[in-house]
Structure 1
């Protein structure tokens, strides 16, 4: 995952808070060993290497992670897809400044991308690639949320009742609220008007994830290319600047921030409104139809946009 985590905890004394924070970071490191595609020794990297040759038996936790990832692939009709690792490399988003692959490169990559090529056998707890070609599973669009949910469960077990967790600033979770308040304050930046705040919310016992084309991108011949891909076209998504999603699960809010980024507004709204309590705020480029889309979001941020 390679993500910077931060944790703020309110506890009865400093030693309790320090112990909880140390255990939380140990848990993050343990999950990195399972799910990081930057670590060749991780369980996810082993699956990417070996599942083309034979079914790979994995541990229950990694399998549960993959089940949820592919649940969102099915639910979004492929808009969410953790098999896009080869696309990120081809477009220069791994340790490069960005590049535009040729049409023939993209054609050759099509056989290596696609969630339906991955077979999960829940009884044997195995993962295999149906076309017997190597693939690269990238957890970047859901791994942060999964890690946060695991840490939240651990903190609850330690009796923590007030904490705020951040994975790279893009996926957040609020346990309870600071003493004397009703929630943890979170500001959503306005990507259309830099420097402005689009929405101020109070987060409590819930998660918020944001996907944005304002930080990870490159510009070629005056055109901006975003790091979030449409798996069907094999190209970066066009026209969307930022999506924010609130959901009780950090795993789901992380995945949904990508789902809503990739899907068209009608389908996105259908997914968001299918579950009570789920909310989304979407900013598209000003020249596109409906530059601000409010899907159950608190307040009236689009009225201010």
Structure 2
């Protein structure tokens, strides 16, 4: 059911859906409730389909099958999952491992997988670090196969890129349904602004400043682009008075220190999702070198020390 091309005669509709460990919400403009319901149902069905492919909580998912079988033998997978893994490897390679889809064992060791955070002992940490390393994931594009080198027991974890991938799939679907204006949000951590609300220049999206005790925010207008945010202010645990963040430096096997929040704007939600981790973990100069030739990519990193790093950032937080 295609929607009317007359956006100015449309009304806004809002729905939400639980999937992939978060709440997806969609605001879109449509002629009527029936048209909006149809588009929303298509979108949420698509998110569920991606979840069935990429969930590492569902034993039946394609990613879980790869995690089980790839230590034993190369696993031939479907084109979509293989493309997802290729993009993950691209950013792992480019960031020299600041983003690493194999970080799952560290999340388990530190208790983040089931929301029971704790500091692991050094022997456990050393053991799990041996199971981490994107360079040990072997992809063969000729036959779409995935294998783990040296029969390593590894775990691919889509947590830092999968939600963005799902958002991109929804954007493609909504465009095909004729939707001209929509805001798709994966729990607020990744949003995509499709078009703009009637009579406006873009969708208003809030970026919070966690350094401000009042939660002071700035509002950006986004159109046909995505924004992803990684924050230590929402997923963390405190032990012996120390805060431990859920975002890791894969090279050390330990949660990042000092960084409070990273935000990345990019035309691709898949890329902005991955890059919010990349710039969170990388040294600022290295991150700027990596993204210098991507003029449509902007990033902002806010640190507990009060420092602020940014590239092409359109907002004013760093200019206070």
- Give the TM bin, normalised by the shorter chain: over 0.9
Correspondent of 2:261 among 242, 245, 251: 242
Alignment pair present for 1:297 and 2:313: yes
How far apart in 1 are the matches of 2:131 and 2:153?
Answer: 7
How far apart in 1 are the matches of 2:127 and 2:22?
Answer: 30
RMSD: 1.1
Match of 2:300 in 1: 281
Superposed displacement of residue 97, structure 1: 2.5
CA displacement, residues 15-42 of structure 1 (integer Å, 9 cap, x when unaligned): 1111000010000000100001111110
How far apart in 2 are the matches of 1:77 and 1:302?
Answer: 27
Judge conservation of contact 1:3–1:144 (CA < 8 Å) in 2. Answer: no
Secondary structure of 2:41's match?
helix
How far apart in 1 are the matches of 2:198 and 2:315?
Answer: 24
Secondary structure of 1:191's match?
coil
Secondary structure of 2:260's match?
strand
Judge conservation of contact 1:2–1:36 (CA < 8 Å) in 2. Answer: no
Match of 2:17 in 1: none
Judge conservation of contact 1:4–1:167 (CA < 8 Å) in 2. Answer: yes
Match of 1:23 in 2: 42
How many residue pairs get aligned? The number is: 301
- Unpaired runs of 5+ residues, structure 2, are 1-19
Judge conservation of contact 1:294–1:301 (CA < 8 Å) in 2. Answer: no
Match of 2:214 in 1: 195
* Match runs of 1:1-305 below 5 Å: 1-286=20-305, 291-304=307-320
- C-alpha spacing 1:155/1:264, structure 2 compared with 1 (3 Å): same
TM-score normalised to the size of structure 1? Answer: 0.96
- Unpaired runs of 5+ residues, structure 1, are none
Superposed displacement of residue 198, structure 1: 3.9
Judge conservation of contact 2:106–2:129 (CA < 8 Å) in 1. Answer: no
How far apart in 2 are the matches of 1:169 and 1:135?
Answer: 29
CA displacement, residues 26-63 of structure 1 (integer Å, 9 cap, x when unaligned): 00000100001111110000000100000001000000
How far apart in 2 are the matches of 1:174 and 1:299?
Answer: 17
How far apart in 1 are the matches of 2:189 and 2:291?
Answer: 19
How far apart in 2 are the matches of 1:286 and 1:87?
Answer: 26
Query: Which deviates the most, 102-111 or 134-143?
Result: 102-111
Judge conservation of contact 1:2–1:32 (CA < 8 Å) in 2. Answer: no
Judge conservation of contact 1:173–1:207 (CA < 8 Å) in 2. Answer: yes
Structure 1 segments (4+ residues) deviating >4 Å: none
Judge conservation of contact 1:189–1:198 (CA < 8 Å) in 2. Answer: yes
Judge conservation of contact 1:2–1:38 (CA < 8 Å) in 2. Answer: no
